[in-house]
Chains A and B, each alone.
Chain A
Amino acid sequence: MEYTLLILLLPFFSFLFLGICGKWLSHKTAGLVGTSVLGIVTILSYMTAYAYFTAPRGADGTFATLLPYNFEWLPMGNLHFDLGIMLDPISVMMLIVISTVSLMVHIYSFGYMHGERGFQRYYAFLSLFTMSMLGLVVATNIFQMYMFWELVGVSSYLLIGFYFTSPAAIAASKKAFIVTRFADMFFLIGILIYGYFVGTFNFVEAGADGQVVDTMGQICGFDADAAKFIPVALGLMFIGGAGKSAMFPLHIWLPDAMEGPTPVSALIHAATMVVAGVFLIARMMPLLQSFGTIGGHTVLGIVVWVGVFTAFYAAAVACAQSDIKRVLAFSTISQIAFMMVALGVCTELPTGHHHVGSLGYMASMFHLFTHAMFKALLFLGAGCIIHAVHSNEMSAMGGLRKYMPITHITFLIACLAIAGIPPFSGFFSKDEILTACFAYSPFVGWFMTAIAAMTAFYMFRLYYGIFWGTENEELHAHHTPHEAPLVMTLPLIFLAIVTCAAGFIPFGHFVSADGQAYDIHLDWGVAGTSIVIAVCSILLATFIYIRKRQPVADSMAEKFSGLHRWAYKRFYMDEVYQYVTHRIIFARISKPIAWFDRHIIDGFFDFLAWGANALGYNIRGLQSGAVQKYAFVFFLGILALTLLFLLA
């Protein structure tokens, strides 16, 4: 597995090369370099996955964790910060997801970014992002994860701000970085606590004679003293994860992040980076299950409730947005929340094959996998549409199905997948999640089913709004929309095929909570309900939105105009943030501090200097040069000394 190092190094060198030499390269060369490097990385990832999953399982029925590289990068007292590569089922699965989507985005961008200024820079940043994301998932320790976590954050910042002359993009990139950074601060503090009490950052360690020691397994057997603080550390890490994965209330950066180029949204803000938080929770799962509670609440319980609320909130907002990328962004938030909930419901340690308590883990990873594919497909499709009509607004679209047949079909497949209609992939993974939720608590199960119905509704609202409904004649008169070039439609077709097929992957054989092969079997009670509900919502959406004019939707929007406006304004969450940052942090903290510094502290030193000056000015009269005055003082002095001697 030595070649896995290349998976990280190749994109890094491609980043350096394109970043430094980019301006002397033509667009075509730069794109080819970036894409071909990514092609190699994808091949290597698939080779790794093949080799990993075809290797014989260990005696306990699990795939062995491999540690091809691990070296000390920075010593920190008793602790050390290592860099390395760790292969276990979820990291190998992530390699596949990241490299596949990234390659599709690289190819797609050839067409989408054609002729764009800064094309080389764009590919350089894509390489940087891919490198960081791959480094994150193969991290051997929590600190390496944090390091690449920051790097993906900055790549995202750079790519959101790609159109750096647009004020909206500047604001969005800044917001994305600062909000996630704020969450990362908690992550960092969590790491500090974790490192101190656990005594190592490593998930696994290279033991004697090539064995890999499962450090996390050992930590689970820790004594009570350390056990008090580990849940706190895990809770703080979850805040970090919630920031990256856009959980309420840290989700606010994600909709704005749509200011970046659409392929970037597909790669970073739909398929890969935003699931980093889910990945983090999955990675820490053994600890989360072993170390119970902070003040009576389990960390996983918090994960569930944050997830449930976020899923609902985002779905509600998605129903009222008119910008297609925003709808997709809220849908992403909602779907990631599904994955979070699925992890949160894994409350019990996996013990046997069919243990319900551990089903959520597999379901979450499965959904992560399928979601990455169909959501990337949706975004890339949206990119084709935006490319064709030069607008993000649904009002500029409508009736596009006859102009863009490939985009239409692939988009429809993705919509069916996210709505949970068999046999598309989303159905299978979502069904597992719902089953896990029902096992956790019927309330969560029903609630998540209802959100799944909302998902189907808003996705089909979007679908009908784009491809059916009223055609914007005025706009199309200038410029007839046309199908995207082959270089853009090929990734769509590929991802559509994956979306159709991925549901039949025996995912439980590769990834499961206890590492043993697990046969996915559909719980027809849950599956049947969710299919019926999904179909009903699709029919409802069809009824409301398929026609040229939409009287029902309009009247409903009017009737519930308050609610609609609140949802459209995303429940004014952004305004709250504006208020906190500008009115409180800038105006109430920074400004007074700056004033205090200039006027009080600096004023004090200026006062000292002024005092010295004034003193000198006032006593200079003594040195006037007038002899009579000197004589007077002289005699006074003598008088005083004489008196002193006489009295003493």
Chain B
Amino acid sequence: MENIQNVLYLSSFVFVPMVMLLGLWLARNINQVRGVMVAGSSVLLLLAVKLVFDFLGARAADPTSEMLFTGHIDWFDALHIKYAVGVDGISVAMLLLSAIIVFTGTFASWKLKPLTKEYFLWFTLLSMGVFGFFITVDMFAMFMFYEIALIPMYLLIGVWGSGKKEYAAMKLTLMLMGGSAFLMCGIFGIFYGAGGNTMNIIDIANHTNGAHAIDTGMQCIWFPMTFVGFGVLGALFPFHTWSPDGHASAPTAVSMLHAGVLMKLGGYGCFRIAMYLMPEAAQELGWIFLILTGISVVYGAFSACVQTDLKYINAYSSVSHCGLVLFAILMLTQTSCTGAILQMLSHGLMTALFFALIGMIYGRTHTRDIRELNGLMRIMPFLSVGYIIAGLANLGLPGFSGFIAEMTIFVGSFENADLFHRILTITACCSIVITAVYILRVVGKILYGTCTNEHHLQLTDATWDERVAVVCLIVSVAGLGLAPLWVSNMIRTGVAPVVEHILPTAQAVAGF
């Protein structure tokens, strides 16, 4: 009975978007569309908040189980596919993040035209995929939701985008689908490698329910495939090039959702599937990817320094920050992995804020070229101040979420005692300076100074719906940055068993 209750409880994150889809389909005018979206996304946000509290309560009562609120129903028994759900500290954090982004994304696309209804239909379908991905623990179901989240992106960019939107949409979809192909091979490899009896990742990891350990030789084949498959979405160098074009062409809320949540699917998948299920290969081959992510971190930051399109700057900055997520995961200490999840959370919120603001500025000035923008501070003070706050958060100012995430990652990475990890950590530390360079460059160029373009002088500041989106995100970023203890502890409860599983116990406990 509890089984079914749990399934229903967690599946509400999928049901609510379904109901929203139905509501959107029935909606007759724009106000009804907006009504459905606001109601639905608020319900999702409340559900996510409730889940956090429920989870913290349940975790206090049961500190040992890896996943809480687990449950499953048989789906396609012949292939051992189940609809299995369950959450731990990591997925709860991700669900909360997704709910915040969907909520604010709704407000950020308030005035979107044309085809508003259709836009929101795809938008909601995308969020359904995202939520579904984070609640399931069955590889097949995860993969399915993953694909549900990817496909709408093609239409959202291709139809409602700007600039070279068809090219960008095609590129993004092809590259991510290429990743999916690797991923599918990897998933089947894991499935059969573990005995072909279960798709449930908890069972595979713990060798229960008919699963056995995957042969190390096999792991070394499937691990890179799975890691690259998810890594493409997590902007792993050199598979990140969809990101600048994709973000630049995407409409505001889609950029927000994409950078805010979708890219986190990559990091989450790398951690939960690639590393968790194939621990030996992760330790053996981790160094290759560690170098790649190390490059991502610095390379993304340097590339961002000379871009002239606001969205390109942010896309490269995302490459750098998401690189840090994968980097920290591969560092394989409890602290660095906790930092990685914190960084996902923090990057999601910050980048969503950034893209929201860029979208709002673009909506007014119709240009994102920093050479054509200047002196916006006097014209749109609210948006400019928001932009500065987002920038400061992005460069890791204490008091915002970026600081705690980065510091946890650096301290955690430094727990590795060998020279290789040390040097990489120090290299990654360099990114904090380069980040400051490109953020301040933009702030100085577009916000400060005197506005010389007379068309821009008549522009107005943010409207109420935009203010809602911006304020919500700023409050989340600052809230996380000022009181990180509970989030950090919650994430740690999720990270600890995974890392202990990957590393032989003695190493994991001491961290030295």
A interface residues, Cβ below 8 angstroms from B: 72-79, 81, 143, 147-148, 150-151, 154, 157, 161, 164-165, 167, 170-171, 173-174, 177-178, 181-182, 184-185, 188-189, 192-193, 195-196, 585-586, 589-591, 593-594, 597, 601-602, 604-606, 609
Tell me if B407 and A143 are in contact (CB < 8 A). Answer: yes
Tell me if A178 and B305 are in contact (CB < 8 A). Answer: no
**Extra 8 A-B pairs, beta carbons < 8 Å, given A77-B415, A174-B441:** A77-B511, A154-B392, A154-B397, A157-B440, A165-B378, A178-B436, A590-B302, A602-B241
CB of A616 to closest CB in B, whole Å: 14
Tell me if B174 and A73 are in contact (CB < 8 A). Answer: no
Tell me if A75 and B488 are in contact (CB < 8 A). Answer: yes
Tell me if B303 and A590 are in contact (CB < 8 A). Answer: yes
Tell me if B307 and A594 are in contact (CB < 8 A). Answer: yes
Complex interface: chain B residues within 8 A of A150 (CB): 396-398, 403
B399 within 8 A of A: yes
CB of B151 to closest CB in A, whole Å: 18
Interface residues of B in 381-437 (CB under 8 A from A): 392, 396-399, 403-404, 407-408, 410-412, 414-415, 425-426, 429-430, 432-433, 436-437
Question: Which of B303, B305, B306, B433 sits near A182, CB closer than 8 Å?
Answer: B433
Complex interface: chain B residues within 8 A of A143 (CB): 407
Please count how many residues in chain B sit with their CB below 8 Å of the partner chain's CB atoms.
Answer: 56
Tell me if A192 and B410 are in contact (CB < 8 A). Answer: yes
Question: Which of B375, B404, B440, B488 sits near A177, CB closer than 8 Å?
Answer: B440
Q: Which of the listed residues B398, B404, B407 has the most CB atoms from chain A within 10 Å of its own CB?
A: B398
B35 within 8 A of A: no
Tell me if B241 and A164 are in contact (CB < 8 A). Answer: no
Task: Pull 28 A–B residue pairs with CB atoms less than 8 Å apart, ordered by A.
Answer: A74-B407, A74-B408, A74-B485, A75-B485, A75-B489, A77-B333, A78-B510, A81-B407, A143-B407, A150-B397, A150-B398, A157-B440, A164-B377, A171-B444, A173-B444, A174-B441, A174-B444, A178-B436, A181-B432, A188-B410, A188-B429, A189-B429, A192-B429, A193-B414, A590-B302, A594-B302, A594-B306, A602-B241
Tell me if A181 and B299 are in contact (CB < 8 A). Answer: no
Tell me if B484 and A74 are in contact (CB < 8 A). Answer: yes
Closest A residue to B238 by CB, please name it.
A601
Tell me if B303 and A593 are in contact (CB < 8 A). Answer: yes
Tell me if B171 and A76 are in contact (CB < 8 A). Answer: no
Tell me if B430 and A185 are in contact (CB < 8 A). Answer: yes
A428 to B444, CA, bound (A): 44
B interface residues, Cβ below 8 angstroms from A: 170-171, 174-175, 238, 241, 245, 299, 302-303, 305-307, 333-335, 375, 377-378, 392, 396-399, 403-404, 407-408, 410-412, 414-415, 425-426, 429-430, 432-433, 436-437, 440-441, 444, 447-450, 484-485, 488-489, 492, 510-512
A77 to B413, CA, bound (A): 11
Complex interface: chain B residues within 8 A of A76 (CB): 335, 407-408, 411-412
CB of B333 to closest CB in A, whole Å: 7
Pick the 8 closest A-B CB pairs, nearest first. A77-B335, A602-B241, A164-B448, A590-B305, A147-B398, A76-B411, A590-B306, A192-B414
Tell me if B334 and A77 are in contact (CB < 8 A). Answer: yes
Q: Are A589 and B302 also in contact (CB < 8 A) when A177-B436, A188-B429 are? A: yes
Complex interface: chain A residues within 8 A of B444 (CB): 170-171, 173-174
Q: Are A605 and B448 also in contact (CB < 8 A) when A196-B414, A594-B307 are? A: no
Complex interface: chain B residues within 8 A of A174 (CB): 440-441, 444
The main secondary structure of chain B at its interface with chain A is helix
CB of B488 to closest CB in A, whole Å: 6
Question: Which of B174, B302, B447 sits near A593, CB closer than 8 Å?
Answer: B302
CB of B293 to closest CB in A, whole Å: 15
Complex interface: chain B residues within 8 A of A81 (CB): 407
Closest B residue to A195 by CB, please name it.
B411
Complex interface: chain B residues within 8 A of A188 (CB): 410, 429, 432
Complex interface: chain A residues within 8 A of B398 (CB): 147-148, 150-151
Complex interface: chain A residues within 8 A of B378 (CB): 165
A78 to B414, CA, bound (A): 12
Complex interface: chain B residues within 8 A of A590 (CB): 302-303, 305-306
Tell me if A594 and B410 are in contact (CB < 8 A). Answer: no
A609 to B299, CA, bound (A): 24
Tell me if A605 and B175 are in contact (CB < 8 A). Answer: yes
CB of B205 to closest CB in A, whole Å: 23
Tell me if B448 and A161 are in contact (CB < 8 A). Answer: yes
CB of B37 to closest CB in A, whole Å: 28
Tell me if B433 and A178 are in contact (CB < 8 A). Answer: yes
Tell me if B415 and A196 are in contact (CB < 8 A). Answer: yes
Tell me if B241 and A605 are in contact (CB < 8 A). Answer: yes
Complex interface: chain B residues within 8 A of A178 (CB): 433, 436-437, 440
A148 to B306, CA, bound (A): 30
A33 to B486, CA, bound (A): 34
Complex interface: chain B residues within 8 A of A161 (CB): 448
CB of A171 to closest CB in B, whole Å: 8
Q: Which of the listed residues A177, A178, A589, A597 has the most CB atoms from chain B within 10 Å of its own CB?
A: A597
Closest B residue to A175 by CB, please name it.
B440
Q: Which of the listed residues B302, B404, B441, B489 has the most CB atoms from chain A within 10 Å of its own CB?
A: B302
Complex interface: chain B residues within 8 A of A78 (CB): 415, 510-512
Complex interface: chain A residues within 8 A of B305 (CB): 585-586, 590, 594
Tell me if A609 and B171 are in contact (CB < 8 A). Answer: yes
A7 to B426, CA, bound (A): 36
Tell me if B449 and A79 are in contact (CB < 8 A). Answer: no
CB of B57 to closest CB in A, whole Å: 21
Tell me if A74 and B175 are in contact (CB < 8 A). Answer: no
Tell me if A165 and B436 are in contact (CB < 8 A). Answer: no
Q: Which of the listed residues B241, B403, B447, B511 has the most CB atoms from chain A within 10 Å of its own CB?
A: B241
Closest A residue to B435 by CB, please name it.
A181
Tell me if B492 and A151 are in contact (CB < 8 A). Answer: no
Complex interface: chain A residues within 8 A of B510 (CB): 78
Closest A residue to B438 by CB, please name it.
A590
A143 to B410, CA, bound (A): 12
Complex interface: chain B residues within 8 A of A77 (CB): 333-335, 411-412, 415, 511
A30 to B101, CA, bound (A): 35
Tell me if B174 and A185 are in contact (CB < 8 A). Answer: no
Closest B residue to A581 by CB, please name it.
B437
Closest B residue to A199 by CB, please name it.
B512
A154 to B402, CA, bound (A): 15
Tell me if B411 and A73 are in contact (CB < 8 A). Answer: no
Closest A residue to B334 by CB, please name it.
A77
Closest A residue to B431 by CB, please name it.
A185
Tell me if B433 and A75 are in contact (CB < 8 A). Answer: no
Tell me if B171 and A605 are in contact (CB < 8 A). Answer: yes
Tell me if B429 and A181 are in contact (CB < 8 A). Answer: no
Closest B residue to A147 by CB, please name it.
B398
Closest A residue to B512 by CB, please name it.
A78
Complex interface: chain A residues within 8 A of B426 (CB): 189
Complex interface: chain B residues within 8 A of A609 (CB): 170-171, 174
A178 to B440, CA, bound (A): 9
A161 to B377, CA, bound (A): 12
Complex interface: chain A residues within 8 A of B403 (CB): 147, 150
Q: Which of the listed residues A74, A196, A591, A609 has the most CB atoms from chain B within 10 Å of its own CB?
A: A74
A150 to B397, CA, bound (A): 7
A154 to B305, CA, bound (A): 20
Q: Which of the listed residues A148, A591, A602 has the most CB atoms from chain B within 10 Å of its own CB?
A: A602
A188 to B407, CA, bound (A): 9
Q: Which of the listed residues B238, B411, B450, B492 has the most CB atoms from chain A within 10 Å of its own CB?
A: B411
Closest B residue to A182 by CB, please name it.
B433
Tell me if A165 and B450 are in contact (CB < 8 A). Answer: yes
Complex interface: chain B residues within 8 A of A185 (CB): 429-430, 432-433
Complex interface: chain B residues within 8 A of A193 (CB): 414
Closest B residue to A157 by CB, please name it.
B440
A160 to B111, CA, bound (A): 38
Tell me if A164 and B449 are in contact (CB < 8 A). Answer: yes
Closest B residue to A154 by CB, please name it.
B397
Complex interface: chain A residues within 8 A of B397 (CB): 150-151, 154
Q: Are A192 and B302 also in contact (CB < 8 A) when A75-B488, A170-B449 are? A: no
Closest B residue to A164 by CB, please name it.
B448
Question: Which of A73, A79, A165, A177 sits near B484, CB closer than 8 Å?
Answer: A73
